[in-house]
A and B are shown apart, each in its own frame.
Chain A
Amino acid sequence: MKITEKQILEWLEEVKDPEIPVLSLIDLGVITGVELDDHRVKVNMTPTFSGCPAMDYMRNDVIRVLKEKGIEEVEASVSFETQWNSNMISEKGKKALKEFGLAPPQTYEVIVDINMLTHVKCPFCDSENTELKSPFGPTLCRSLHYCNNCLQAFEQFKPL
């Protein structure tokens, strides 16, 4: 059977963000391309944040899963050539984030207006009567918020 790019991408659906286990790397948008030739596969990846310590885990998981599927030679290469931004999270991914209890990043045009952090929609009750507690949270990609409507603290996957 000849392996196709589509098949590889389907297999990679199994690889999840280690810090957000409901979100696949495909939906997160960190897989930027797949190159195939016979028995060799090269997966191109780009980090969400440069200092993200999960990147090494993701890389190793990509290699592990593809080897388990029988591909002999797998390379996972991380670069800034195609740069990640939060608009690259798929609609499916955003839905998964919300169900996980994390407010998904808002889609933006051209550049992030940091003021969009001040009234993030609460993932629990959908109210916009919320406030930003801190632009930094438990991981580099999250900010801390509080909902004045349902009186619940929540986190957002930050727009970048």
Chain B
Amino acid sequence: MNTEAIIDLLYKIADDQLIIGHRNSEWTGLGPILEEDIAFSSMAQDKIGQSLVLYRMLNDLGESDPDTIAFMRNADQFHCCQFVELPIGEFDFSIIRQFLFDTSEIIRFEMLSSSAYEPLALASKKFKGEIKYHIMHANIFMKQLGNATEESVKRLQDALETAMPYALGIFETSEYEDAMMDEGIFAGEATLRNKWTERIEEVISNTALKLPDIGNIEPKTGGRYGKHTAHLQPLLDEMAEVLRIDPGADW
């Protein structure tokens, strides 16, 4: 099997999970209501836990150990899409991002559940059950805030317009798309994007929101190749702050 392709795929998914997990955790203590504080903290825990599973898989393929991979790289060595590194903004943006990103993620893991790369197939089967609860969370808020007041609809609509170019960057293709499809590792970003479009359209059609004209939006790409916004490096510095002060710290 094409190990380089698998490593590339694992890095981008794991980095997405780690970074969105850390962004979610920034709501800890700040959620607009207690339940949301807990929800974003729980989703953070799920996603960081999933990233660890994927980093271990990379370790089994000869990459460094999970802590080194997670905390010792600089921004230009990360393969996450730019979408996940954007600051949490206000609650409206975080809900829109959660909806758009997590929908892509659950479809990705549904597709990968039948991957020819067995360890990833097994993990994906597990993850998609866990992420179901994240989707439930996102869809409830889309439906409620997307049909509530003039202000809530406007806020979500504005956040949707801001988020969409970055959301489309999730599907930036790798140089291994054909190889992965040929070997049955992953059916590819284009297929994922089509399925995602259908699914978000369905949820948005039950709200007062309007889906932006996706076909005419230029995706914000580069993340998969190490090109990031100015927001990623400060986040990584914060994540590794303790490690850098005291590399042998243990607790």
Contact = CB atoms under 8 A, between A and B. Distances in A.
Interface of A: 49-53, 79-81, 83, 85, 112, 114, 117, 133-138, 140, 144, 158, 160
25 contacts: A49-B46, A49-B49, A50-B127, A51-B45, A51-B130, A53-B45, A53-B49, A79-B122, A80-B123, A80-B125, A80-B126, A81-B122, A83-B125, A85-B129, A114-B136, A134-B38, A135-B137, A136-B39, A137-B38, A137-B42, A138-B38, A140-B46, A144-B35, A144-B38, A160-B129
B23 interface: no
- Among B42, B50, B122, B125, the most chain A Cβ lie within 10 Å of the Cβ of B42
B122 A136 contact: no
Contacts of B137: 134-136
Contacts of B123: 50, 80
Contacts of A160: 129-130
Given A114-B132, A134-B35, A137-B42, A50 B50 contact: yes
- Among A51, A83, A85, A134, the most chain B Cβ lie within 10 Å of the Cβ of A51
Contact of B126 (A83, A136, A144, A158): A83
B144 to A, nearest CB: 13
Contacts of B200: none
A117 B123 CA distance: 24
Contact of B132 (A51, A112, A138): A112
Interface of B: 35, 38-39, 41-43, 45-50, 52-53, 119, 122-123, 125-127, 129-130, 132-133, 136-137
Given A49-B130, A53-B45, A114-B133, 13 more contacts: A50-B53, A50-B123, A51-B47, A51-B50, A51-B130, A53-B49, A80-B125, A117-B136, A133-B35, A134-B38, A136-B43, A137-B38, A144-B38
Nearest to A83: B126
Contacts of B46: 49-51, 140
A112 B128 CA distance: 11
A112 B42 contact: no
A160 B132 CA distance: 9
Contacts of B49: 49-53, 140
A158 B130 CA distance: 10
B136 A135 contact: yes
Contacts of A137: 38, 42
B129 A51 contact: no
Contacts of A53: 45, 49
Contacts of B43: 136
B38 A136 contact: yes
Contacts of A85: 129
Nearest to B125: A83
Contacts of B133: 114, 135-136, 158
A136 B41 CA distance: 9
A145 to B, nearest CB: 11
Contacts of B122: 79-81, 83
